[in-house]
Every structure is written in C-alpha cells, then in structure tokens.
Chain A
Amino acid sequence: MSRAIAMTDSPPAAPPAPARRRSPLAAILRHPGAVLGLVILAGAIGAALLAPVLYPASPWRMVQRPFIPPFTLDRVPLGTDALGRDIAAGLMHGAGVSLLVGLVSTLAALLIGVPLGALAGYLGGRVDDALMRFTELFQTVPSFALAIVLVAILQPSLGSMILAIALVSWPPVTRLVRGEVLSLRSREYVQAAVVTGQTTFTILRREVLPNTLSPIVVLASLMVATAILLESSLSFLGLGDPNRMSWGFMVGAGRTVIRQAWWITAFPGLAILLTVLALNLIGEGLNDALNPRLSRER
C-alpha cells in the first residue's frame, strides 16, 4: 500500500531518540484509513454511552407492532423485529456489550500471553520448549469450537464469554512477545541490568517489556476486532448473556424470519462489520505509525 509514511526516526525496539521522534498520534492522523476507523469507533462508543440516555427502557421490551419495516415510522427508525422490539434500541445497547467483551477479553488474553511469552523468550531452554509446546497445543485446537464448549459448560454469561475468548486468543501474543524478548535479551542494556544484579522479574518489567510495547499494541487492536467477531458468533449461536442485548443475538433472532424481514438481520450485522472494520483500520494505522520499518513491507 502506498500509505507507508517515510519516517526518519529509529524503530521502537532500539533505544529511543526523543528529540527526533514524531508523535505516534500525528502519524496515525496522517493515515486516512485509520482516521475513518477512529470516526466509526467513536460512533460505536458514543452509541454505547448514549444508549441508557436515548433508550432508557429495556431493549427487550415490545414497543410497536412486529415487522415494521425501517424508515417508515419515526418512533422506530430502523423498524421492529418479530416480537415488536425496537431495532435501533437494540443496536445502541448491543454496542456496549460488543465493545466491552472485545476490550476485556483482549486485556485478559494479554495478561495470559505476555508473561508466558516473556518467560519463554527470556529463560529459553526447557522452559521455552515446554511453554511453546503448550502454546502450540492451544493454536492447534479449533478455537471457535473450544470457545463454544467452554461457554456451554460454564453456562452463558458475560464472564464466561470473556473467559472463553481470552483462553482461545492468547497464543499469538505469547509467540510475538517471545520473539521480541529473544531479540532484546542480548542487548547491552539488558546485560547491564543482569550484571547489576537485578532480579529476572525486575529486568523483564523495567528493561525488556517496555520495549515490546508497540508491536503488542498493534496486535491488541487487531485482537479486539477478532474478539468482537467471536463474541457476536457466540451470541448468534445463543451463547450470549441472556440478560444483555447484543448484535450477534439480534442476527440470530432474525434468522428464522429472514425471508419476510431482511432488516432484522441486516442492521446488527452491518454494525458488527463496521466496528470490526474500524478496529482493523486502526490496527493498520497503528502499525504504520509505531513500526515504520515493518510498514514499508505492506
């Protein structure tokens, strides 16, 4: 892609050169796709925050006749579903669930993946071997099937969904962090820290991990996108939190009446598509901004 921005400063893995460093934010804002992504994401966050204000009543409540097509009644701009529920209200309330699950499960996956990757990369040897075998095992297992089994067994709820998504999405983090740590381990400043007698934990926390931050941030933004896809897929199969309206559930509920009422499934699906697209665009922008060396490859 011709979006690659020619940047003269050093890549983030090397010791920083603060004087010449252009702010990553400025770099992202020069990336048109990322700006579009930020706008869409802001819209989704706005919808999530405004949902309780604009639609204080439960999105599960029947408000009108069922099967009202969109753009016909001002009170229900996007129409109603098979049970007369307001689709616009569902969309607004669903935004919060998707964003929350996407964000929290990604954070949880980082909490599992980063320490494992750091240990594997830094300690090497048998620990590395064992941890990598373990990671490979989780990468082989069909992740969506495992997520289904986990949520079904733990009973559907927001918590079990977050746990299941985190448990199937940490392996790429481990592999990434391990690779980064492996290349940082022999750097002079890390060796200096070893010589001064700091503990492994302190070295990892203060010297090594801060320098792996930018690739992790890029990966995390893409993981939130994948997590939202997983969340909506689970909800579509009826494994969502039974008390929360979500986009995936709405698509699943409209599936049986798709021949009569396309809008019941079309709008929530579009909302998922736009949000996931936005996060992917932001991820690409972040990648170009934070890893200028890699961005030339694209």
Chain B
Amino acid sequence: MAGFIAQRLAKGVLVLAAIVVLNFFLIRLAPGDPAVVMAGEAGATDEIFVAQLRTKFALDQSLPSQLAAYLGSIATLDLGYSVRQQMPVATLIGERLPATLLLTGCAFLISIALGVLLGALAARRAGSLADTAITGLALLFYATPLFWVSLMAIILFSVRLEWLPSFGFETVGAGYTGLARAADIAQHLVLPALTLGLFFMAVYVRMTRASMLEVSRLDFVKTARAKGLTEGVIQRRHILRNALLPVVTLAGLQAGTLVGGAVLTETVFAWPGIGRLMYDALLQRDYNLLLGVFVVSSAMVLIFNLVTDVVYRAVDPRIEVAR
C-alpha cells in the first residue's frame, strides 16, 4: 500500500508540474508585458515593482530560463504577491483554504451519501414509481444551474421562510465561542453545502443505479440467491459493494467539477473560501492571484484523486487477496 501511495504521489507531483507549466504559458497569453500582467492591471503599479518582477522571473532572458525561474518560485510555495490586496498570494489562499475545504468536504459527503442511497433505492425497485421519481429528480438537478439553484434556495429558505442565513461564514460581531460558534457556522453552511451537493448527488444517483442494475445480473449474484441469502444481504454485501467501484472512480473524476462549482457557490453565498477569492481576483483582474487559486485548486483535486485511488483499493473486493 505504501508503495502504491508513493507511486501515485510521484505521479501527482508530475501532473502538478505540468499544470504550473500550463500556467506559465497562460500568463503569456494575456495581452501585454508578462511582468505588468503579473503585477496587476496596467498602470496600477509602480515601475520599481515591475522591474523587480522582471529580474525575479528572468523575463529579459530566454523562454526556458524564464520557465525554470517560474517553476523554481512555485516549488518554494512562492505564488507571488497580490498588489491589489497588498499581501502574498500564498497567505491569501492559506487564509481562505479551510472554509473551502469545509464546504466542498460537506458537499461531497452529502452528495455521495444521498446519491448512493437514492440510487440503490431506485435500482432495487427499477421500473416502479419511486424509481421514476428518483431518476426524474436526478435529471432535474443535473440540468439545474448551480448559481441559480443557490439563489432560489436563498429566496425560499432565507427570505420567505427565514429559516437559514443567506450569506457569510458566521454571524459577524456575535462573538460566539466554542460550541455556539460551531453551531452558528453549521447554520451558515447548510445552504451552500446542500446546493453544491445536489448537482453531484444527481451524478451519483445515476451512476449507482446503472451500476447496481448491471452487477445484479452477474452470475455471483445468482449464486448468492441460490445459497438462500436474504435479499437485504445480497443487495448490500454482494451488489452494492461491487457497484460502488465505478462510483468511486466517478467521484475522483468529479473532484475537479466540485472545486470549480465551489467558485459559484461561494460567490452566491459570500462564503469566504478560495472560490470567492477567485471571483474577487477576477473582478479586479488580479491575474497573479487568479493563477495562484487555479494552481492550488488543481493541487486540491490531485490530493482528492489520490484519496479516491486509495479508497478504491480499500473497497475493491477483488484485490483483497493481493494485499
């Protein structure tokens, strides 16, 4: 297992390096001097700073040495300086990262739990009214724009029903501590996590349902039935466990979409995570910060993929012997 993780880690680092190279070329796609682009909007910065950037990133030298300088600075976790926010990009992102991890983590757990549950339910009663209702609902959520369902949720649950707060991370100025603060944050988390999770729930419902129907036709399920096992045991132990494998693979593939979706959810709910930071960077055309968030969110996806790889090995009943 350790060797497997090490191998995946090495692969992840390579992919991250490739993404940083991609970043390097993206900066050069922007119109104008890369140093000015990195510093912020043209005219908004002073000459000395731009000159500093030019030496630091070897911009007066050949393209390969520019790339080397850029890779070197990223490798030391130096993501540059945001002139707009007057702070290093790495610090800005570091401050905002926990909120995003909390939000995407909760949304992920909600979506996979509900998705697998509803998908399994639909598969068990394929063709029934419940199945039609669940697949119909999944299709609807799959087609709903994330930002819009968030806004509609605010109208319904915050404005009309006044059940839940509509924006922010916690009640500003309330001065809660300990458990009271946790409860307050949880209250603020409900709407963003639910709306972000719904789309992915739809994805997992469809996958779990299709996968369970496929597995239930396999020979070993017939054997289990012939042995006289109860239907519940067959569903859980034989069908679901095997049907979950493609769901785990899909979860890994969806990680990128989840992180991207957080940009929209955080923007709508004013959730102080890196998605919201990306939106602010976008409004101010703070390219350095924008690219920094992009690199960090890519790294998040890579770590998530690593975790799903490990989980896959843990739940796959076929490689139990090899461990």
Contact = CB atoms under 8 A, between A and B. Distances in A.
The answer to whether A and B interact is yes
Interface of A: 1-2, 136-137, 139-146, 148-150, 152-155, 225, 229, 232-233, 236-239, 248, 251-252, 255, 258-259, 262, 265-266, 269, 272-273, 276-277, 280-281, 297-298
B246 to A, nearest CB: 12
A139 B253 contact: yes
Contact of A146 (B27, B267, B294): B294
A208 to B, nearest CB: 26
B120 to A, nearest CB: 16
6 contacts: A136-B15, A140-B298, A148-B263, A233-B264, A269-B149, A281-B139
Interface stretch (B43-51, B109-117, B230-238, B285-293): B285-293
Contact of B15 (A137, A146, A298): A137
Interface in B130-154: 131-132, 135, 139-140, 142-149, 151-152, 154
Contacts of B297: 142, 145
Nearest to B149: A269
A297 B210 contact: yes
Query: Which of the four size classes fits the interface of chain B?
Result: 35 or more
Looking at B19, B140, B148, the one whose CB has the most chain A CB atoms below 10 A away is B148
Contact of A140 (B149, B282, B285, B301): B301
Q: Classify the interface of chain A: helix, strand, loop or mixed.
A: helix
Interface stretch (B2-10, B174-182, B254-262, B312-320): B254-262
Contacts of B127: 1-2
Contacts of A277: 139-140, 143
Nearest to B281: A152
A233 B298 contact: no
Contacts of A145: 259-260, 263, 278, 293-294, 297-298
A24 to B, nearest CB: 22
Q: Classify the interface of chain B: helix, strand, loop or mixed.
A: helix
Looking at B29, B131, B152, B256, the one whose CB has the most chain A CB atoms below 10 A away is B256
B214 to A, nearest CB: 6
A251 B26 contact: no
Contact of A265 (B26, B148, B213): B148
A148 B293 CA distance: 11
A21 to B, nearest CB: 26
Contacts of B39: none
B291 A225 contact: no
Contact of B210 (A142, A225, A276, A298): A298
A280 B136 CA distance: 12
B102 interface: no
